[in-house]
Amino acid sequence: MVHSYSAQIVRAAKVQHRLLPITAIDGRTFDSLRADWVAIVCIEWEFDLAGNIATTFLVELRGRLGELLDFVECYTLDLALSQAQAIADLRPDAWVECEFDLDPDVSYRLTWRTLLTLVRA
């Protein structure tokens, strides 16, 4: 049996380029000056034969050309938002709410402008 999974950008925010590198809760250091924008991606998958669903959230730091620079995995959306605030000083009002479906088998190079165009279409 092939277990199904999905990925969706649920929040996105533009990074303000005024920060020094930040150390996340797990001890990794992020150079937020390199990141152009941040996406929070919700990933859901079936983890057993009964069809139970597990959910995780990725805080993805994206470059100007949309390249994935780094990410942090979080168990809840609130924790992901907190991590993004700690890493890139992103306040609650900085976020754009999205429902942009990603194909988990494709590596996306979405720019900030392209994402906003797709979300607002």
pTM of the predicted structure, to 2 decimals: 0.80
Name the pLDDT band for 79 (thresholds 50, 70, 90): very high
| 1 neighbors 35 (Cβ within 8 angstroms) | no
The beta-strand segments (E) located in 24-114 are 29-30, 37-46, 53-62, 68-74, 96-102
Q: For 86, how many CA atoms within 13 A lie in the half-sphere containing its CB?
A: 16
Mean pLDDT of 18-24: 57
Give the residue, 78 or 116, on which the prediction is more confident: 78
Q: Are 11 and 96 in contact (CB under 8 A)?
A: yes
Q: Distances from the Cα of 61 to the Cαs of 1, 105, 110, in angstroms?
A: 33, 19, 12
pLDDT digits (tens, 9 = 90+) for 48-74: 777 788 899 999 988 888 888 889 999
Phi first, then psi, for residue 98 (nearest 5°) are -135, 165
Judged by average pLDDT, the poorest of 31-35, 60-64, 83-87 is 31-35
Does the pLDDT value for residue 106 go beyond 70?
no
